[in-house]
Amino acid sequence: MADVALPSTRLPPSLSAALRRFGRSDVRFRWLTLAAAWLVLLIFIGIIVSLWQGAWPAFRTFGFGFFTGTVWNPVTEKFGAFPAIYGTLVTSALAMAIAVPVGIGIAIFLTELCPRPLRRPVGIAIELLAGIPSIIYGIWGLFVFAPFFQQFVEPWLIDVFGNVPVLSTLFAGPPYGIGIFTASLILSIMVLPFISAVTRDVFETVPAMLKEAAYGLGCTTWEVMWSVVLPFARSGVVGGAMLALGRALGETMAVTFVIGNAHHIPTSLFSPGTTISATIANEFTEALGDLYVSSLVAIGMILFLITFIVLAVAQLMLRSLEARSGGRSQ
């Protein structure tokens, strides 16, 4: 076996030259893609460094109080980011609370229950929602949504929950039509297509055999979705939700139009508040003075950190989900 004579290990010169050429182009391709990957890292580092540089005067002046301070006063140059951080987290959380169930519901309907001829039109309509620029959502929210809410929805909610202990404080105050509640609803509409599109795609990867087996055992559609499809597609659903959360946290223009832009901790869902990105969009152009600009950069950096933490948590969640489902299958 060992002495089988290979027919000459030397290749004809033309062939070896071609191979060398291919090898070189492979190396070049490798370097090209490596450079592209590094470029992302470099940009990332560049953004962090410049954010830190810009934010440093604010952090140095206010220290940790910048995170907890509730005063945002450009005249006396006292800045605290808490109302903006709070508004960002609350509006995003509310938006997700509305959009995740609805988005998953849409995906279930589209993959399991929707009559075939309706599937494409409904699917395309949802994807189109994702393509609408946020400024359009903002203008629509301000001119159509807010007046409707102010005249009909908010007074009704205030009436209905007026005597319920906890809910009466949540749904209190003059119905301005804009505020935390409207901003969250607009946000939920904006992120809905991300959740439903990703979830639908993941649901479609669930093997038909699994579902058919479940149906064969006599499961209802609900049981199939809850016990077979959702567990199988869990990580994809979480991924889609995180993508949506990322967008909700950073959304600027639509929120700016409908949140009311008040640097106060909102006491009820109808009171005006602000978010980090809305504050920056509102105030950056006319911000005068180093400390003011620096504080705006600093809240930008905080938003960056929040997004980073959200993504990290999502990764951890995905990993533990995978570990758990792996453990069960053994």
Partner 1 sequence: MKPMFHRLLGLAAGTAIACAASGAMAADITGAGATFPALIYQKWAEAYKAKTGTGLNYQPIGSGGGIAQIKAKTVDFGASDKPLAPGELDAAGLTQFPTVIGAVVPVVNLPGIKAGEMTLDGKTLANICLGKIAYWDDAAIKHLNPSVNLPHTAIANVHRSDGSGTNFIFTNYLSKMSPEWSTQVGAATSVEWPNGIGGKGNEGVANMVKQTGGALGYVEFAYAKQNNIAWIHMINKDGVAASPSIEAVQAASAKTDWAHSDHFYVILTDQSGHDAWPISGATFILVYKHPQDPARLKDVLKFFSWDYENGGQMAKDLTYVPLPASTVEAIKKSWHDNIDAAAVP
Give the interface with partner 1 as residue ranges (CB under 8 A): 71-76, 142-143, 146-147, 150, 174, 176-179, 256-257, 260-263, 272, 278, 281-288, 293
Is 204 or 290 the residue whose CB approaches partner 1 more closely?
A: 290
- Distance from CA of residue 92 to its chain's centroid? 8
Residue 172's nearest CA partner among 186, 185, 184, 154 is 154
Distance between CA atoms of 239 and 269, rounded to whole angstroms?
28
* Buried residues in 266-304 as b, exposed as e (16+ CB within 10 A): bebbbbbbbbbbbbbbebeeebeeebbbbbbbbbbbbbb
- Least distance to partner 1 from the beta carbon of 271, Å? 9
Is 235 or 282 the residue whose CB approaches partner 1 more closely?
A: 282
Is 77 or 201 the residue whose CB approaches partner 1 more closely?
A: 77
Is 177 or 240 the residue whose CB approaches partner 1 more closely?
A: 177
- Least distance to partner 1 from the beta carbon of 84, Å? 13
Residues 6+ apart with CB under 8 A from 227: 214, 219
Is 91 or 196 the residue whose CB approaches partner 1 more closely?
A: 91
Is 4 or 75 the residue whose CB approaches partner 1 more closely?
A: 75
**DSSP collapsed to 3 states, 227-289:** HHHHHHHHHHHHHHHHHHHHHHHHCCHHHHHHCECCCCCCCCCCCCECCHHHHHHHHCCCCCC
Is 174 or 207 the residue whose CB approaches partner 1 more closely?
A: 174
Residues 6+ apart with CB under 8 A from 172: 158, 267, 268, 270
- Least distance to partner 1 from the beta carbon of 90, Å? 17
Apex CA 54: angle with CA 48 and CA 55, to 5°?
85
Distance between CA atoms of 33 and 52, rounded to whole angstroms?
29
- Least distance to partner 1 from the beta carbon of 304, Å? 22
Query: What tokens does 115 get?
Result: 């009559």
- Least distance to partner 1 from the beta carbon of 196, Å? 29
Query: What tokens does 247 get?
Result: 């967008």
Taking residue 315's Cβ as centre, other Cβ atoms within 10 Å add up to 13
- Least distance to partner 1 from the beta carbon of 255, Å? 10
- Least distance to partner 1 from the beta carbon of 67, Å? 18
